[in-house]
Structure 1
Amino acid sequence: MADIRVLIVEDDPFIAMDIESAVADELGDKAELIVVGSVAEALRATASRLSCAFLDIDVIGGKTFDLAAALLQAGTPFAFVSGSSPSDVPKALRQARFLRKPFSTREIATFLLGAISPLKPRRSRNH
């Protein structure tokens, strides 16, 4: 199992592929990508340790706010990736990063690298 596990919760397969591609471009095979399209699948995926997550707000089975609250409580970095408005997010979750659709791969990469930076092994100073 990879040390870096990234959850992507997105019910549009094309958008999910865009996020997955952006993550893969940054991490290659160093990460395990878990891509799901429903709240139920996402909740099952959180049973194992995650490094970070990208959450669409409206997916199959409802909104991801309960999932986001669980990630927040567990200390797992996450970003909402949504066409919704940031004001639609409950106040308790508004400190989370919000990437509005359409997003850029740079936005995905910036959040990803910031979220996993404590997890990445430090490079040797002798390079």
Structure 2
Amino acid sequence: MADIRVLIVEDDPFIAMDIESAVADQLGDDVELIVVGSVAEARRMTAKQLACALLDIDVVGGKTFDVASVLQEIGTPFAFVSGSAPQEVPAALRNVRFLRKPFSTREVAAFVKSAVGALDLKAMPG
């Protein structure tokens, strides 16, 4: 696995560290973790090639729903990791994985592993 980039959008530094730790434990040195705390930074990061993303809903600058829509359009797997209620998510994004805070780091790691595994399968010659 090379060039695996995981976007983490989380404005609480302690929660961001928990998520980073869970992903790093799962993927080790093969992953580049991009941690941002605002909607504006997250928007900029969607231009990068990402393996997957973990989005808090309420961050600096508003909600991440437009970022989620862009990721959905370009086919980047993502999950919401939020204390918000799942029913607050717009209808077009309700089929997305939702990890409720307080989350289990095992759940976060499992999502990332499955997203990266799906990428590896797509990259294999068929």
Aligning the two structures, in what range does the TM-score lie when normalised by the shorter sequence? over 0.9
Q: C-alpha distance in 2, partners of 1:103/1:17?
A: 13
Structure 2 counterparts to residues 25-104 of structure 1, below 5 A: 25-104=25-104
Shift of 1:46: 1.1
Q: C-alpha distance in 2, partners of 1:118/1:101?
A: 25
Q: C-alpha distance in 2, partners of 1:36/1:109?
A: 19
Secondary structure of 1:119's counterpart equals helix
Task: Say whether 1:106 aligns with 2:97.
Answer: no
What 5-or-longer segments of structure 1 have no aligned partner? 122-127
Q: C-alpha distance in 1, partners of 2:37/2:114?
A: 24
What 5-or-longer segments of structure 2 have no aligned partner? 122-126
By percentage of residues, which structure has more helix?
Answer: 2
Secondary structure of 1:53's counterpart equals strand
Matched length: 120
C-alpha deviations, 1:33-79, integer Å up to 9, x for none?
Answer: 00000001111111111110000000000000000000000000000
Task: Say whether 1:117 aligns with 2:99.
Answer: no
Shift of 1:120: 3.7
Aligned-residue CA RMSD (Å): 1.0
Kept in 2: contact 1:5–1:52 (CA 8 A): yes
Q: C-alpha distance in 1, partners of 2:120/2:3?
A: 9
User: Could you list the runs of 4 or more consecutive aligned residues of structure 1 that deviate by over 6 angstroms after TM superposition?
Assistant: none
The equivalent residue for 2:124 is none
Kept in 2: contact 1:55–1:64 (CA 8 A): yes
C-alpha deviations, 1:80-123, integer Å up to 9, x for none?
Answer: 000000000000000100000000111001111111103348xx
Question: In terms of Rg, which structure is larger?
Answer: 1
> Could you tell me the TM-score, scaled by structure 1's length?
0.91
The equivalent residue for 2:4 is 4
Q: C-alpha distance in 1, partners of 2:90/2:41?
A: 22
Task: Say whether 1:17 aligns with 2:17.
Answer: yes
Secondary structure of 1:76's counterpart equals coil
